[in-house]
Amino acid sequence: MPTPGFVVIAFAAAVAGGFVRGASGFGGSLVMMPLLSLMTSPKFIVAPVLLLEAFAVLPVLRHFIGRAQWRVVMPICIAAFVALPFGAWALVNADQSLIRRAIGVLVLVFSLALLAGVRHKAQPRVPTSIALGLLSGALLGGTGIGGPPVILYLLSSSAPSVDTRANLMVTVMAMSVAALIVLWMRGAFMIDGPMPLWILAPGYLFGILAGMRLFGLIDERRFRRATLGFLVVVSVVTLAV
């Protein structure tokens, strides 16, 4: 049975992840994975976090499916599906301290890249999309964080912002569901382990609702920079511990 302190810290991490997710539309796993990996092995965290991310997208998915650019989304998703089992194998078999540090490095690099305004300048092409999907799938299966490469790639598109958001939503949802299936097949679908959903789900839902409510009241640019600064600090702590 988790201790009261464990429950409070895990709940707070879920609230923080949900708040960022509700206010920005993405980033829940970026916040939760490094924080929660400080409390227990990453292999116990990936499935619960992916479930929360999938359920966060599900209610609005029907609004985005029709807007998604499938010629952009499909190569990424198919390549990610191919690479997911390799990442899941690493999650189950690799030293968990190495996985935790990989999470820290991934979050740190992505946060610094966004703070620096790094973008992929070229338009999406199939070979690039396939390479990106392979990378994202391996990262998602191994660390629970596969979105950063996709986000950087798709945000650079000249497509309307609504279409770009639809591409992101559909891609993340498809990859998350596929990752959950692969983790289940690998015996790593641990939603009742040391990091149970009954702790995370209420906090994540509360955070999402709070983030959505405050979205129109906060300066988006300042909020994003503050969030990225927070992620830099968290990832550095993850690497230092």
Mean pLDDT for all residues in the chain: 86
Question: How does pLDDT run across 100-144, given as a tens digit for each residue?
Answer: 999 999 999 988 988 887 666 666 788 888 998 999 999 999 999
Note the pLDDT of residue 218: 72
Domain count, the chain: 1
For every residue of 77-98, DSSP letters joined together read HHHHHHHHHHHHHHHHHS-HHH
Q: Give the domain extent around 57.
A: 4-240
Question: How does pLDDT run across 34-54, given as a tens digit for each residue?
Answer: 999 999 999 999 999 999 988
Note the pLDDT of residue 150: 84
Low-confidence ranges of the chain (pLDDT < 50): none
Round to whole Å and give the CA distance between 241 and 235: 10
- Best CA proximity match to 124, nearest among 101, 95, 154: 154
- Best CA proximity match to 184, nearest among 141, 130, 233: 141
Three-class SS of 12-26:
HHHHHHHHHHHHHCC
Residues 6+ apart with CB under 8 A from 231: 30, 31, 34, 107, 108, 110, 111
How many Å separate Cα 240 from the centre of its chain?
22
DSSP state, 191? S
